[in-house]
Chains A and B, each alone.
Chain A
């Protein structure tokens, strides 16, 4: 076998091995999307009911609350960025980070100081490499976030928004950047202002505002509730849960999006490997043909030289 042919054969073998791996990863990601989607769906009743309740209290009571009141001149905003722990997901992480960068620039343009909170080691690594300050980060659960994880993320954020702006850790606004799972093929990074909640005057408008990710049928008029023990206490208990559930929803959607992005990236890697194998096989065939041609011409040349030599000695 010629040297050239051997090199091609070796490369085909290695690309085939890579293809097997990427195909396996594609399959794994595909099965995980379904699981992640199911989790998003399972968390929906809770989120929907909670949103309903929050809307009801905020409208029905006219209570002022630190989570709903808008600060007159906001000076500091917290940005929670949700990325993944692992790569191999195409543009998933860089798109989310880009969205966060845009939001950060916009907030700075509005004269606000930005405090970063990050979920997922990819985002942490990006910020650390650029030596940007990260207030707090969480890693290790982005593939399958549990409600306890969402609680852990929400706790310091709620603390920060509770604290006065004048205080060291206080923030006035809370923004969240995550990748929304639109469909198997489409995932878009979105930024939402989670707090303070925006309650507009009419039921329809405010329902729409709070709904955000949680889509429901047309707006409805909410009844006048009786609060137990009091509207303030209910709101006090309700709003942190609402923030947690929104973060939980964002984490679940981000996880589903990540798996979808991985699947797509691995599918195109597999396709590329196939193309590569095809063209390498062509090259290997050509090299083999060239080897054979050369061998034949050598044999023919040798034979005719031998015949010439024999003819000379016969004479």
Chain B
């Protein structure tokens, strides 16, 4: 089966890389699914979960990451997801994100609220 190579990088580290058969991400004009052989693409990502269907060496499964803004670029079967902050769901501390969400709500901090919300949505997406 055809596969594409995915690099998920945050500003200060490489978060995940491997082979995948499908990547679903949310751009500013809607959700987009990228499969092997897609046309070269460069898009702006919205904050939200990114779903990666892994195959090949990475094993069949699903990797979900919370991405806070960033870009998606695809060319030559190479897909790069660039984000200032990106976390895999298993790195997210649910309780902490919930606490952060409460705190952000009580302090009316829209930015922090969105951040915590994205994390929680990513965790629920994987379940």
Contacts and interface: CB of A to CB of B under 8 A. Distances in A.
Interface residues of A, number: 30
Contacts, number: 87
B42 A57 contact: yes
B15 to A, nearest CB: 10
A224 B76 CA distance: 11
B56 interface: no
B24 to A, nearest CB: 14
Contact of B32 (A45, A56, A228): A228
A311 B44 CA distance: 113
Contacts of A43: 11-13
B43 interface: yes
B43 to A, nearest CB: 3
Contact of A39 (B12, B42, B80): B12
Size band of the interface chain B makes with A? 20 to 34
B41 A45 contact: no
5 contacts: A151-B84, A223-B76, A228-B72, A234-B43, A241-B84
In terms of DSSP, what is the predominant structure of the interface of chain B? strand
Contacts of B70: 241
Contact of A42 (B7, B12, B28, B41): B12
Contacts of A42: 12-14
A229 B7 contact: no
Contacts of B40: 223-226
A147 B84 contact: yes
Interface string B14-52: 100000000000011100100000011111100000000
A146 to B, nearest CB: 7
Interface string A143-163: 000110001000000000000
A309 interface: no
A225 B34 CA distance: 14
A228 B42 CA distance: 6
A126 interface: no
Interface in A198-245: 222-229, 233-234, 237-238, 241, 244-245
B28 A49 contact: no
Interface in A15-60: 39, 42-43, 45-46, 49-50, 52-53, 56-57
